[in-house]
Structure 1
Amino acid sequence: MQDFLYVVGGLLLLIAGGNWLLKSAVDLSLKLNIPKIVIGMTVVSFATSAPELIVSINAALDGFPDLALGNVVGSNIANLGLVLAITVLLSPISVKRSFYTTDWPVMMLASLLFFGFIYFDGILEQYEGIIMVVCLFLFLVYLLRFQKPAVDEEEDVVTIALPIYKTFLFLGLGGIALWGGSELLINGAVGMATVFGVSERVIAITVVSVGTSIPELAASIIAVIKKEKAISLGNLIGSNIFNLLAVLGITAIITPVKVVDDGLLSNDIFWMLGISFIILPLVFIPKGLRLGWRDGLILVGIYLSFVYITIS
């Protein structure tokens, strides 16, 4: 029971911390007159992926590499099979041309790069982490210099700036909550794995990954409720790219990440590649450049099958 409370408490702190960090980071960016597209592709992406980053670094440093790897691989599967599925079940998404010219190809290349680095020797080395972070940097430079915005601009929304002390207060609280939440979540996850007799990988790929995907889920649902057209497939694709290249890249630079449970290489990584690939045909069939409720049902079915096979 104590381990379960640790997991719940850790997730709540991660959600709160991510929200505070996002609020302060966006406000700080607006104060510095940074363009919206730059905020979206860098600040917002980092803030929503911060739970994955903190949990992965903390888990690797604490000697639980499978939690770090399972968290990212599971989050990428959950972003598409759960978050995107729920979003399109609530409201269809019209996909922009940039999806198949840039976003999807880069996500697949990032996934294959990670696969190539870890599949054959079971370890993500420091130099491989550096390559991944450099690839992310080059991708961001390309986006900011050459690509048009992935979504249509909405009417300007009047944003009330926070007092400067509140901005830094939220920034500090967000960082502390993320760190404390990751500690609780890791301790609870390891404890649950021991109690239920399953590997840390299984807990990471299911419970932890869904927990760290909650910021993306919350943002998607809120966007649907507010009927904002700015929600797009590109947002979640971008999150997956960031998870692979930044979260795992930075974690590997700090400390090499070694696979402990071979299930990650024989099962999980192929599910991640498969669900990433299937998004492309779903976007074009039956209606071009659109994801609807039927696609959502297919994605949920794939995700539930993945969870069932993983825990059985």
Structure 2
Amino acid sequence: MSILLVVAGLALLVVGGDFLVRASVGLSFKLKISKLVIGMTVVSFATSAPELLVSLQAALDGVSDIALGNVIGSNIANIGLVLGITAMISPLVVDREFYKLNWPMMMLISFALYFCLNNDKVLTALEGVILFVALVIFLIILIRNSRRTLTANVDEVNDALAEVSNFKIVMWLLIGAAGLYFGSEWLVQGAKQLAEAVGVSDYAISVTVIAIGTSVPELAASVIAALKKEKAISLGNLIGSNIFNIASVLGLTAIIKPIAVNPDTPEILSTNIFWMIAFAAVLIPLMILPKRFEIGRYKGMLLFGAYMVFIYLTLK
């Protein structure tokens, strides 16, 4: 029953998230928001909605392990699993925006999360506000840079959604909201039951099973793009979700309900958050050596292998 709840919850989150993205983009076109801003803000926020709902539901249920594990695990999976597999299929070219803005921001926000949690073992509402404000500032800088260089990737914004009726937008919003609500509730309940049945902590399930599940949409989109070779896959866009996960998902969750570190799972601060920081930090040496500004198949295999080691150590 627990596995069924987890699978059904993940499926509802994927469906709900997809409908929410469509509704959000359609509504943004109605409000005359530019395609560039939609791609960088509206789509990014909407695609983070499943992680946000899971973390918020977990925090409200008093299972902060799942809230933290979901984000830390997703950030590790985005680089080790998604980026690793994508690079094995097709090499990724690194653009300047990545190491000048995206990577420094990802490192800054990752260290900020560690210091906030390590300080008093709680991510407070004030710290949540600071993280979220940092995200807004980052997005403003990103949009300004993109307008100046005209290199923004807005392929994921579907122009056809500009013609959608108001009725459809409302229906998509309702379907998306219902899918995210019930999906997050079932996923959190299923994860708690699965953890009890398998004999591991809620945190171990959230940092592996739930994290991989919520990273499936990013993995599918990246693999399809790599296989078709229709467009260059932007490393900045792939890891941009890591910034959103911490600043938006944990930031907003902490504002609504402060997230406490469970003393029964010391590995959150002793090991796993360092795994997350290490996966982010290793991208710079990978980008430089041996072939510069490219993450190819061997580097992808290295990332994927490191991710498998992480999963093994977490579940053993």
Query: Aligning the two structures, in what range does the TM-score lie when normalised by the shorter sequence?
Result: over 0.9
Instruction: Name the CA distance, whole Å, in 2 between partners of 1:35 and 1:222.
Output: 27
1:255-295 per-residue CA deviation (whole Å, 9 max, x = no partner) reads 11111111111111010000000011112222221111111
Q: Which residue in the other structure is 1:82 paired with?
A: 81
1:160-183 per-residue CA deviation (whole Å, 9 max, x = no partner) reads 632332222112111110110000
In the alignment, structure 1 residue 228 sits paired with structure 2 residue 230: yes
Query: Quick one: which amino acid aligns to residue 53 of structure 1?
Result: L
Q: Percent identity?
A: 50
Instruction: Name the CA distance, whole Å, in 2 between partners of 1:17 and 1:308.
Output: 31
Shift in Å at residue 158 of structure 1? 5.8
Q: Which residue in the other structure is 1:307 paired with?
A: 311
Query: Quick one: which amino acid aligns to residue 289 of structure 1?
Result: F
Unpaired runs of at least 5, structure 2: none
Query: Quick one: which amino acid aligns to residue 202 of structure 1?
Result: A
In the alignment, structure 1 residue 298 sits paired with structure 2 residue 298: no
Instruction: Name the CA distance, whole Å, in 2 between partners of 1:153 and 1:308.
Output: 37
Instruction: Name the CA distance, whole Å, in 2 between partners of 1:199 and 1:176.
Output: 28
Instruction: Name the CA distance, whole Å, in 2 between partners of 1:48 and 1:225.
Output: 22
Q: Which residue in the other structure is 1:182 paired with?
A: 184
Does structure 2 conserve the Cα–Cα contact (< 8 Å) formed by 1:58 and 1:183?
Answer: yes
Tell me the number of residue pairs that the alignment of Structure 1 and Structure 2 aligns: 310
Q: What TM-score do you get using the length of structure 2 for normalisation? A: 0.93
Instruction: Name the CA distance, whole Å, in 1 between partners of 2:128 and 2:177.
Output: 23
Does structure 2 conserve the Cα–Cα contact (< 8 Å) formed by 1:13 and 1:178?
Answer: yes
After alignment, is 42-51 or 243-252 more displaced?
A: 42-51
Query: Quick one: which amino acid aligns to residue 186 of structure 1?
Result: V
Mapping 1:164-183, distance limit 5 Å: 164-183=166-185
After alignment, is 58-67 or 279-288 more displaced?
A: 279-288
Does structure 2 conserve the Cα–Cα contact (< 8 Å) formed by 1:70 and 1:204?
Answer: yes
Instruction: Name the CA distance, whole Å, in 2 between partners of 1:232 and 1:143.
Output: 14
Shift in Å at residue 93 of structure 1? 1.5
Does structure 2 conserve the Cα–Cα contact (< 8 Å) formed by 1:151 and 1:232?
Answer: no
Structure 1 residues 76 and 149, CA gap change in structure 2 (3 angstroms): farther
1:80-130 per-residue CA deviation (whole Å, 9 max, x = no partner) reads 101111211221111111111001000000001101100232111111111
Instruction: Name the CA distance, whole Å, in 2 between partners of 1:276 and 1:157.
Output: 30
After alignment, is 223-232 or 37-46 more displaced?
A: 223-232
Does structure 1 conserve the Cα–Cα contact (< 8 Å) formed by 2:93 and 2:232?
Answer: no
Q: What TM-score do you get using the length of structure 1 for normalisation? A: 0.94
Structure 1 residues 152 and 259, CA gap change in structure 2 (3 angstroms): closer
Mapping 1:88-167, distance limit 5 Å: 88-147=87-146, 148-151=149-152, 159=160, 161-167=163-169
Shift in Å at residue 29 of structure 1? 2.3
Shift in Å at residue 221 of structure 1? 2.3
Instruction: Name the CA distance, whole Å, in 2 between partners of 1:45 and 1:152.
Output: 12
Does structure 2 conserve the Cα–Cα contact (< 8 Å) formed by 1:96 and 1:151?
Answer: no
Shift in Å at residue 36 of structure 1? 2.6
After alignment, is 87-96 or 204-213 more displaced?
A: 87-96
Instruction: Name the CA distance, whole Å, in 2 between partners of 1:199 and 1:248.
Output: 20
Q: Which residue in the other structure is 2:202 paired with?
A: 200
Query: Quick one: which amino acid aligns to residue 236 of structure 2?
Result: G
Instruction: Name the CA distance, whole Å, in 2 between partners of 1:25 and 1:222.
Output: 23
Instruction: Name the CA distance, whole Å, in 1 between partners of 2:249 and 2:91.
Output: 30
Instruction: Name the CA distance, whole Å, in 2 between partners of 1:246 and 1:167.
Output: 24
Q: Which residue in the other structure is 2:260 paired with?
A: 258
Unpaired runs of at least 5, structure 1: none
Instruction: Name the CA distance, whole Å, in 2 between partners of 1:191 and 1:27.
Output: 38
After alignment, is 20-29 or 261-270 more displaced?
A: 20-29
Q: Which residue in the other structure is 1:289 paired with?
A: 293
User: Aligned to 1:33, what secondary structure does the other structure show?
Assistant: coil
Structure 1 residues 124 and 43, CA gap change in structure 2 (3 angstroms): same
After alignment, is 157-166 or 167-176 more displaced?
A: 157-166
Query: Quick one: which amino acid aligns to residue 305 of structure 1?
Result: V
After alignment, is 191-200 or 158-167 more displaced?
A: 158-167
Instruction: Name the CA distance, whole Å, in 2 between partners of 1:31 and 1:91.
Output: 37
The match for 1:210 among 203, 212, 230 is: 212
1:57-101 per-residue CA deviation (whole Å, 9 max, x = no partner) reads 010001100000000000000011011112112211111111110
